Amino acid sequence: MIEIEVRGRRNGTLDDGLPTVLVRLSEERTTARELIRHAVEEQVRELRADAARCRRILDRHFLSDDELRAQAAAGAIRPPRQMADPDVAEEVARAWRAFARGTFVVFVGGRQVVGLDEEITLRIGEPVVFLRLVALTGG
Global pTM reads 0.74
Q: What tens digit of pLDDT does each residue of 33-65 get?
A: 999 999 999 988 887 776 666 667 676 667 666
Of 131, 41, 31, the C-alpha closest to 90 is: 41
pLDDT at res. 18 = 75
pLDDT at res. 100 = 94
Q: What tens digit of pLDDT does each residue of 75-129 get?
A: 765 555 545 577 899 989 989 999 999 988 999 998 999 999 999 999 988 889 9
Domain regions of the chain by residue span: 2-132
Torsion angle, CA of 44/50/53/54, rounded to 10 degrees? 10
Cα distance between the two ends of the chain = 45
Mention every residue, 6+ apart, whose C-beta is less than 8 A from residue 34: 25
Q: What tens digit of pLDDT does each residue of 1-15 get?
A: 889 898 887 665 555
Q: What tens digit of pLDDT does each residue of 94-108 get?
A: 899 999 999 889 999
Q: What value does the mean pLDDT of the chain take? A: 80
